[in-house]
Chain A
Amino acid sequence: DAKTTQPPSMDCAEGRAANLPCNHSTISGNEYVYWYRQIHSQGPQYIIHGLKNNETNEMASLIITEDRKSSTLILPHATLRDTAVYYCIDRRSGTASKLTFGTGTRLQVTL
């Protein structure tokens, strides 16, 4: 079962920042925080990951608290195409470690 907890749904106005929270209450030292999203029934799309430092790429920013018990994914300027289910996942480092998906947050971006 997924170890993370996320709100089931969120709304965001187009052009505004979307801040998606995640709780990682049982994360261990050798686990990375990963974020994926799934648009309709397409394959999950990788967004970003980090261990303990904040990370940024062309898609998003990831903020991880110092105790690593929570993280926030930030989409700086949400568009309608960002409407999707977003998953945060604790992934163990090591050989071919699996991703355990939960139910995620359904983000609806509106005009």
Chain B
Amino acid sequence: EPEVTQTPSHQVTQMGQEVILRCVPISNHLYFYWYRQILGQKVEFLVSFYNNEISEKSEIFDDQFSVERPDGSNFTLKIRSTKLEDSAMYFCASSSTPNTEAFFGQGTRLTVV
């Protein structure tokens, strides 16, 4: 069964460092998303991406965040200068059309120290 894969599963970084979280969406999907979940809190939407453009972003997705689809298979989330409060599980998701279900990866646990 096709699935969304995310790497790494866990990343520890020092405050102020840049991190790139990587995702390989399901191969024929065209719509991509990033969400995050701070420990014990709700899953929060960050950004959606289609046709090499951001479709929608939340207030959380400020200038420190960026997304890119550098090739035909990867979808990345970059955090330029990490803060302690960026520590969370980050989930990538993809869907084939805007009105079909989005499938989530297993997440990357980011720990900022």
* Distance between A61 CB and nearest chain B CB, rounded to angstroms: 16
Rounded to whole Å, the gap between the CB of A41 and the closest CB of chain B is 6
Specify which chain A residues have a CB less than 8 angstroms from the CB of B91 in the assembled complex. 43-44
Given A43-B104, A43-B106; A95-B98 close (CB under 8 Å): yes
A97, B43: Cβ atoms closer than 8 Å: no
Judged by a CB distance under 8 angstroms, whether B25 is at the interface is no
Q: Is the CB of B99 within 8 A of A38?
A: no
Taking CB atoms and an 8 Å cut-off, the chain B residues in 75-113 that contact chain A are 89, 91, 93, 95, 98-99, 101-107, 109
Query: A42 vs B4: C-alpha distance in the bound complex, in angstroms?
Result: 13
Q: Are B56 and A96 in contact (CB under 8 A)?
A: yes
Given known A38-B43, A43-B91, contact A96–B106 (CB-CB < 8 A): no
Contact B33 A41 (CB under 8 A): no
**Chain B, interface size: which category?**
20 to 34
Size of the chain A interface, CB-CB below 8 angstroms: 23
A45 proximal to B (CB < 8 A):
yes
Q: Does B68 contact A (CB under 8 A)?
A: no
Query: Beta-carbon contacts of A39-54 to B below 8 Å, as 1s and 0s?
Result: 0011111100100000
The SS class assigned to the A binding surface is loop
Whether, in the assembled complex, B44 has its beta carbon less than 8 Å from a beta carbon of chain A, the answer is yes
Within 8 A of A (CB), among B1-17: 4
A96 touching B103 in the complex, CB below 8 Å, given contacts A41-B89, A44-B43, A101-B42: no
Q: Which of A42, A93, A95, A101 contacts B55 (CB 8 A)?
A: A95
Q: A101 with B101: in contact, given A42-B106, A96-B31 (CB under 8 Å)? A: no
B50 within 8 A of partner (CB):
yes
User: What are 7 A-B residue pairs whose CB atoms fall within 8 Å in the complex?
Assistant: A93-B99, A95-B50, A96-B48, A97-B56, A98-B33, A99-B35, A102-B42
The 4 closest A-B pairs by CB, nearest first: A43-B104, A96-B48, A96-B55, A101-B43
